[in-house]
Amino acid sequence: MAASWIRWFSETSIDDVPIVGGKNASLGEMYRELAAEGVRIPNGFATTAAAYRHFLESTGLDRQIQGMLAELKPDDVSSLQRTGHAVRQAILSTELPGDLRTEISSAYERLCAEAGSETGLQLDVAVRSSATAEDLPDASFAGQQETYLNVQGVRPLLDTCRRCFASLFTDRAISYRNHKGFDQFQIALSIGVQRMVRSDLACSGVMFSLDTETGFRDAVLINAAYGLGENVVQGAVNPDEFVVFKPTLKSGFRPILQKRLGTKEWKMIYDIGGGRMTRNLPTPPEERARFALDDDEILLLAQWAGTIEDHYSRKRGVDSPMDIEWAKDGRTGELWIVQARPETVQSRKDLQIHEQFALAERGEVLARGRSVGERIGQGKVRLIADARHLSDFQPGEVLVADKTDPDWEPAMKKAAAIITNRGGRTCHAAIVSRELGLPAVVGTGNATERLQDGQPVTVSCAEGDEGRVYAGLLKFETSRIDLRSLPRPRTKIMMNVASPEEAFRLSFLPNDGVGLAREEFIISNSIRIHPQALLDYHQLADGEVKSEIDELTSGFTDKATFFVDKLAEGVATIAAAFYPKDVIVRLSDFKTNEYANLIGGRPYEPHEENPMLGFRGASRYYDPRYREAFGLECRALLKVRQEMGLANLKVMVPFCRTIDEGRKVLAEMARHGLVQGQDGLEVYVMCEIPSNVILADEFADLFDGFSIGSNDLTQLVLGVDRDSEIVAHVFDERNSAVKQMIASVIHMARAKGRKIGICGQAPSDYPEFAQFLVAQGIDSISLNPDSLVRTIPQIAEAEQK
5-9, 403-407, 551-555, 712-716: least confidently modelled range = 403-407
Amino acid at 529: I
Share of the chain above pLDDT 90, in %: 67
Mean pLDDT of the region 649-659: 98
CA distances from 328 to 26, 33, 313 (A): 20, 21, 26
State residue 273's pLDDT score: 62
State residue 235's pLDDT score: 83
pTM: predicted TM-score of the whole model, two decimal places: 0.85
Confidence of residue 750 (pLDDT cuts 50, 70, 90): very high
Neighbour-count burial of 238, counting CB atoms closer than 10 A to its CB (0-12 exposed, 13-18 middle, 19+ buried): buried
Contacts of 108 (CB under 8 A, 6+ apart): 121, 123, 125, 154, 157, 193
Distance CA(214)–CA(765), nearest Å, equals: 27
Mean pLDDT of the region 653-661: 97
- Examine the pLDDT at 331 and tell me if it is beyond 60: yes
To the nearest 5 percent, what fractions of the chain are helix, strand and coil?
45, 20, 35
State residue 528's pLDDT score: 94
State residue 144's pLDDT score: 55
- The pLDDT mean for the chain works out to 90
Which of 161-170, 322-331, 349-358 has maximum average pLDDT? 322-331
Q: What is the DSSP letter of 268?
A: E
Distance CA(539)–CA(772), nearest Å, equals: 54
Mean pLDDT of the region 155-175: 89
Backbone conformation region of residue 776, classed left if phi is above 0, alpha if psi is from -120 to 50, else beta: alpha
Say if CB 456 and CB 446 are below 8 A apart.
no
**Strand duo 189-195 + 44-47: pairing:** antiparallel
3-state secondary structure of 274: coil
State residue 73's pLDDT score: 81
Distance between first and last Cα of the chain: 82
State residue 595's pLDDT score: 93
Neighbour-count burial of 162, counting CB atoms closer than 10 A to its CB (0-12 exposed, 13-18 middle, 19+ buried): middle
- Examine the pLDDT at 494 and tell me if it is beyond 60: yes
pLDDT tens-digit series, residues 216-249: 999 999 999 999 988 888 888 999 999 999 999 9
Confidence of residue 117 (pLDDT cuts 50, 70, 90): low
Active-site residue identified among 161, 427, 461, 759: 759
Backbone conformation region of residue 413, classed left if phi is above 0, alpha if psi is from -120 to 50, else beta: alpha
Mean pLDDT of the region 292-303: 98
Write down the number of H helices and E strands in the chain: 30, 30
State residue 145's pLDDT score: 67
Distance CA(481)–CA(789), nearest Å, equals: 9
Mean pLDDT of the region 772-781: 94
Nearest Cα residue to 746 out of 705, 793, 702: 705
Confidence of residue 141 (pLDDT cuts 50, 70, 90): very low
Confidence of residue 798 (pLDDT cuts 50, 70, 90): confident
Query: Does residue 428 have an active-site annotation?
Result: yes
State residue 136's pLDDT score: 41
Active-site residue identified among 354, 428, 530, 672: 428
- Examine the pLDDT at 180 and tell me if it is beyond 60: yes
Query: Does residue 759 have an active-site annotation?
Result: yes
